[in-house]
Amino acid sequence: MGMDLRALRTLINRYITMSSANINVQGDSNLVCQPIHYYRKQEGAQRGTLMQCVGEENWVDSRTVYIGHKEPPPGAEAFIQQRFPDNRIVSSKYTFWNFIPKNMFEQFRRVANFYFLIIFLVQLIIDTPTSPVTSGLPLFFVITVTAIKQGYEDWLRHKADNAVNQCPVHVVQRGKMIRKQSHKLRVGDIVYVKEDESFPCDLILLSSSRDDGTCYVTTASLDGESSHKTYNALQDTKAYNVENEVDSIHATIECEQPQPDLYKFVGRINIYMNNEPVARPLGSENLLLRGATLKNTEYIYAVAIYTGMETKMALNYQSKSQKRSAVEKSMNAYLVVYLCILISKAFINTVLKYAWQADPIRDEPWYDQRTEAERQRHIVIRAFTDFLAFMVLFNYIIPVSMYVTVEMQKFLGSYFIMWDDEMFDHELGEGAVVNTSDLNEELGQVEYVFTDKTGTLTENNMEFIECCVDGHVYVAQAICNGQVMPGADSMDMIDTSPGPEAREREELFFRALCLCHTVQVKEEDTVDGIKQGIHHGKSTSFYISSSPDEVALVEGMKRLGFTYLRLKDSHVEILNREEKIERFELLEVLTFDSVRRRMSVIVRASTGELYLFCKGADSSIFPRVISGKVDQVRARVEHNAVEGLRTLCVAYRPLSPVQFQEVCLLLSGAKLALQDRDKRLAEAYDIIEKDLILLGATAVEDRLQEKAADTIESLHKAGMKVWVLTGDKMETASATCYASKLFHRNTQILELTTKRTEEQSLHDVLFDLSRTVLRQHGGMTRDVSRACDCSLSGDYMDFGLIIDGATLSTVMKPGQEDSNSGNYKEIFLEICRNCSAVLCCRMAPLQKAQVVKLIKASKEHPITLAVGDGANDVSMILEAHVGIGIMGKEGRQAVRNSDYAIPKFKHLKKILLVHGHYYYIRISELVQYFFYKNVCFIFPQFLYQFFCGFSQQPLYDTAYLTLYNISFTSLPILLYSLIEQHINIDILKKDPSLYRDIAKNSLLQWPTFVYWTALGVYDAIVMFFGAYFLFDNTTFTSNGQMFGNWTFGTLVFTVLVFTVTFKLALDTHYWTWINHFVIWGSLIFFVVFSLLWGGIIWPFLNYQRMYYVFMQMLSSGPAWLSIVLLMTASLLPDVLKKVIWRTLWPTTTECIQQMHAGLGYVPAFEDNADKLYKGQLSEFTPLSSILATPQAGSRCRGSGNNRHTHNPTWSTRSEPFIKKAMLTYWQRPQDYCTFAPLLGFTDVNCTTGQGAGPDPLV
């Protein structure tokens, strides 16, 4: 009829009204959202409010879902079936039909590929001096190899998608349970999910196997929290527990359109009873998200609300885009420069050709007469054709083979990461995985590291350490009731046994921890599918909770003699030390929130006494305490905080019946409030939780992954800034940051949180923080490396920033209405630049990606790396320049979407400091060397045109033109780029500061590029004019025959091949038999090929202009002499430059290389040996910092801002050479010795004691 379904629906929505209760939109203090407005289908088109994440499009429309696809009763509302996507998940990039055109488009977006395509087409169209094969074959190889690699990677993504989309799910249809594939689910289907199964889409909980309609869920793959969360079914549907009953539900759900905020959902359900709708509100406590897992609940029934790419998990995925490294960007920039040089050369030669041919005799000599057709061609067409011919002739200055070599280097080099035994985890049985080899060198350029917390930095395994009651310390299984337990004699503890009078308060403390929690008990043999704690064939109970801290505390109390048994019929049962069961009636629970930082319970003992037990952060408990041993407990809390433990304080308050009645009235009034319910509850809690009596404190450890703190410290020393982005609570994340040495004891914490912005405007808070950090640093941004060096002396104030998701959302808002607010983003970034570490907590997955994007887009454009282990980290991993997945316990989604995958966080140290360092050094040399050798190759061709009348005559034979980059000079640089080690691996790991030498793409800066280009031009001039002047009018062989133009070109080419190969040999630090075989073998191959090419009459050639040319050249003594002289003259300036620079202005890397080689003078080394042995220098003290101190007038050369005062300065060559001592630690005696194998000393002097072999400290 000309009107589509969407237009019809919109028209009906305008006029249909329905009477129902308002949707209850309840705020959340942790919600990372801002309000937008929409019009709801109800009387008067009443205006409502939805919440929405910053940066996302406005969800102004709602959706109506018909449960079980049942039509509403007649007259209730119009039935308009909306179309929703199926439940198919798509993470792949290509399809079978669009792979070739889409992949070709992406590849020819590269400047180099597009350029070589144009050159190839020109060679096909016009008559050029060289064959089209010379350009077409390498281009075809590069395109094919890249397409195969990208096609294979996408095929793996298709395979993973199919595994998810085809997994079976159970659906209720017509009162029966049927089984279908996941991708066939539709919105409105009633889904049946069993324990330990993942939810196939976003669901609204209808009923569960539990009588109270609750279920327990882990959302580890979404927000990183592996603890159990409680979700509630609707009161009207929780009793429906079989297929027929569930299928009889007649209801519709109206809710917001999909949005990515995991913590927010607003909707309502209309349940039809006797054809009359009963409206009930729906919130996030009713929404089960795709990817979450059902735990400790036998089964549930739920209705599909969002499917496929509309689920919150899918909306939090960042689209996978092709990443390009900084080296590749530099290559493209250099390519543009060389393209301009090429065009200039072709233009100059074209102009000079026509200037030369202005004389008719030169234009058309008697031996080269033009045809009539050529004479009739317009001069512009002839000039353009000549210009293209010169372009093709000089085309070899653009190294097409460089891209082939780079692709091979990246592909083959990635295997060195996968073959690294040190990054193999025997527990998992897996090693490192490379999903994208295009970014190997980017691992050596990282400036910002963004890491998840749970499962990445930590094992997410809480352990109860100790508790302190009135100053007496209790360690589980070590001290119990003041008695030291067997086997605990060697533990470091405080043994201050309480007297008999303290026993009552001690037991009250233990009871408080057994009562004040939200822990559930599981009475089954397995937990998460793993059998645990089965004794004599009988299963024991296990604890689960939304907070792993609470489980650790309850388990700790169990080891100290008080066991929490169960919560049954609103009564808590505890087994005390006398094996007697105590029952307490649970009257009220004052839930925990991040603003109050505490939770409380009100219980009635069997004796009728009423108690309020409260536990929380020390900052929220101490101000409310009126009695107790505050000083002793505070001292212990501070001691444990310094140790990186998570601390909680416990207090109580006895209540009289009158006080309890007042509390009940206060809480009832707040809970029944329809407006500002959260605010009124907070006020009520504040009144109730006061006049407390302090009992004690607890200490829980969230175990870090092995060597996580060591890795973070190494990254800081390497000049990287580490940010922790987590969905966890601020207190939990902050404790982990201290334990992992992200924050130190002298770190001043700056808070930018909701709690602070409620007390003070965001504008004022930001400017206060900005003034604080800039006052300390004098208005200058502090370099991270300086912070690392100064941290030993403690002469500066170290800052750490903590920000939560809600505040970050406000900071990143595109525009502020307040004209005085200024640019919040810039102020925030300035604060972050002056902080050594940043912690972002309560982050939604998409917010993590937004933070990474914010740093990427800052004016410094730093290289970022994101590392995580769960699906909630995928967006961040895809957004960062380099994404690394951890093979953790939260599935494999992060691993599948990452560029690299490693078993543990500790392996990040080696993949960056060693592999990244090596790859960047190797590929930067490869790129510069390729441009250098091609300048040497083609610039003589340009000079030759001045001596051949600009006739486009090649200087080299076609075989030499084709094989120069493919055979004669390609293998040595490829091998160099795979195995070169300019510094020993152990030194790179011991001295992370060496990473700074290559920061900011220092080896591919424009000055370095200009130097290599100038060196290539110089070598080309020496080769061409050296050969020209040495043999001018005197070029005779032994039989008196003169050299011809092909002999001259062969001589220049021979000097060229030997010079560029020797240049690479001089740059090689790590020699193996493979290097010798390839470098000298390539030279031998060139000689043998030249002898065969010119010494045999090949039947497939029409003419053979190189016949006997090479042999004739080698028969001349002056030719041999010229080869040696020209090679020496070409290489000498570069050698002299390196010697002078390394002597006067060495980099840190060059200093270490000289120390490694036994060159130079290190007067401070022996003095520092004692410090190193005695522990005054840490393992991470840079080797460069224990070298000679700078003398007056000397300085250390470096790369930009990455040189610091600790870098060594080498003495002049006139100073005496002495050997350097290296301190080694022997297992029994300790001696100084000169360590010949490492330092390369000629005479070894080592007085060793008895014992095993040495364990070098440096």
> With DSSP H G I counted as helix, E B as strand and the rest as coil, what are the percentages for the chain, rounded to 5?
45, 20, 35
Query: For residues 166 and 87, what is the distance between their CA atoms, to the nearest angstrom?
Result: 10
Provide CB contacts within 8 A for 707, sequence distance 6+: 905, 906, 909
Query: For residues 877 and 866, what is the distance between their CA atoms, to the nearest angstrom?
Result: 5
- Name the 3-class secondary structure at 610: strand
Query: For residues 984 and 1069, what is the distance between their CA atoms, to the nearest angstrom?
Result: 10
Which residue, 743, 782, 750, 780, is CA-closest to 766? Answer: 750
Contact criterion met (CB below 8 Å) for 694 and 627: yes
Set 223, 261, 438, 452: catalytic member: 452
Query: For residues 515 and 600, what is the distance between their CA atoms, to the nearest angstrom?
Result: 9
The structure tokens listed for 711 are 């890795």
Which residue, 1054, 1022, 1011, 1050, is CA-closest to 943? Answer: 1022
Q: What is the 3-state secondary structure (H, E, C) of 187-244?
A: CCCEEEEECCCECCCEEEEEEECCCCCEEEEEEHHHHCEEEEEEEECCCCCCCCCCHH
The structure tokens listed for 395 are 């085309």
* 452 included as an active-site residue: yes
Provide CB contacts within 8 A for 1095, sequence distance 6+: 1108, 1110, 1111
Helices 379-393 and 326-356 meet at what angle, rounded to 10?
130
Provide CB contacts within 8 A for 323, sequence distance 6+: 436, 438, 439, 442, 881, 882, 899
Tokens 């704690």 belong to residue: 533
Which residue, 974, 1124, 979, is CA-closest to 1055? Answer: 1124
DSSP string, 135-200: HHHHHHHHHHHHHHHHHHHHHHHHHHHHHHHTSEEEEEETTEEEEEEGGG--TT-EEEEETTPBPS
Long-range CB pairs of 1189-1197, under 8 A, 24+ apart, other chains included: 1189/1164, 1194/1144, 1195/1145, 1196/1145, 1196/1146, 1196/1147, 1196/1148, 1196/1151, 1197/1141, 1197/1144, 1197/1145, 1197/1146, 1197/1147
* 825 CB burial (10 A radius; 0-12, 13-18, 19+): middle
Q: What is the DSSP secondary structure assignment for residue 428, as one 8-state letter?
A: T
Provide CB contacts within 8 A for 1167, sequence distance 6+: none
Query: For residues 1009 and 1014, what is the distance between their CA atoms, to the nearest angstrom?
Result: 9
DSSP count for the chain of H helices, then E strands: 41, 43
Q: What residues are annotated to the active site?
A: 452
